[in-house]
Amino acid sequence: MLLVKESHASQTELFDDRMAQSRMQTTFLRIGAYLAMVIGICLFFSPVTTLLGYIPLVGGFVSGVAGFAIFLGAVLACIPLFLIAVSLAWLRFHPKVGLMVLGVGLVLFFLFWKTSGPPD
């Protein structure tokens, strides 16, 4: 690995800067992956909101409300799905952390599943 700076810096400073840069890049990629999941779910349901827009008189309003509801549902549904997907990747390199994240993701998934059903 080639680490170069214009000013004088020690080996540890160069390595620490590279590690901070790597952590920042990883964070941005994780946020981007989560947003891609949300956008994907919204795009999957966009034909429904388009069809609702054709209802006479109230179609635009109903379509907007349905689109907002789909967006909120996608944001909430992607939390446990993203945690489960990330935990499966973590299981390879950090099994203890991966199992903990998988447990949290599964608990959230089952909580969302149980609370979103019809009332008993």
CB 21 within 8 A of CB 5: no
* Token duo for residue 33: 């992956």
pTM: 0.79
The upper half-sphere exposure of residue 19, i.e. CA atoms within 13 Å in the direction of its Cβ, equals 6
Tens of pLDDT, residues 78-103: 999 999 999 988 898 899 999 999 99
Angle at 41 between CA 66 and CA 103, to 5 degrees: 115
Task: Note the Cα 61 to chain centre separation in Å.
Answer: 28
**What is the rounded distance in angstroms from the CA atom of residue 19 to the CA atom of residue 39?**
30
Tens of pLDDT, residues 23-75: 999 999 999 999 999 999 999 999 999 999 898 888 889 999 999 999 999 99
**What is the rounded distance in angstroms from the CA atom of residue 118 to the CA atom of residue 120?**
6
**Between the CA of residue 42 and those of 65, 67, 84, 107, what are the distances in Å?**
13, 8, 20, 24
